[in-house]
Amino acid sequence: MLRQAQALQRKLAKAQAELAEIEVQASAGGGMVTAVVTGAGEFRRIIIKPEAVDPDDVEMLADIIVAACNEALRKSKELESSRVGELAPGLGLPPGLL
């Protein structure tokens, strides 16, 4: 039993390390803003096309950035859930509980 727990712990650590390296991205505003996030939920970069910058409408740009970031984080969590969720049977938990 202890050996199984240790093996599962190693698999979980490996999955978390892999997630920290994988990047997911999401765009908003018709591709004007792209957010890049790791599978562990760490922001790597925000890409803003120059034509998205309108000094007279900074609020719209802020909204587009937030939308891109939220979608990138959603994708990151989905990736994490699928990777860690693969380990759920070893934990004795039903899929989707993680």
Structure tokens at 8: 């599962």
- Separation of alpha carbons 24 and 75, rounded Å: 7
Q: Which residues on neighbouring strands pair with residue 45, listed in sequence order? A: 36
* Rg, C-alpha atoms of the chain: 18
User: What is the C-alpha separation between 21 and 61, in angstroms, rounded?
Assistant: 28
Encode the chain (98 residues) as per-residue pLDDT tens digits.
788 888 888 888 888 899 999 999 999 999 999 999 999 999 999 999 999 999 999 999 999 999 999 999 999 999 998 888 777 665 555 555 44
Contact criterion met (CB below 8 Å) for 41 and 61: no
Q: What is the residue extent of each domain of the chain?
A: 2-88
Instruction: Report pTM.
Output: 0.78
Please give the CATH topology (third level) of the domain spanning 2-88: Ybab; Chain: A; (3.30.1310)
Sign (positive/negative) of CA torsion 88, 91, 97, 98? negative
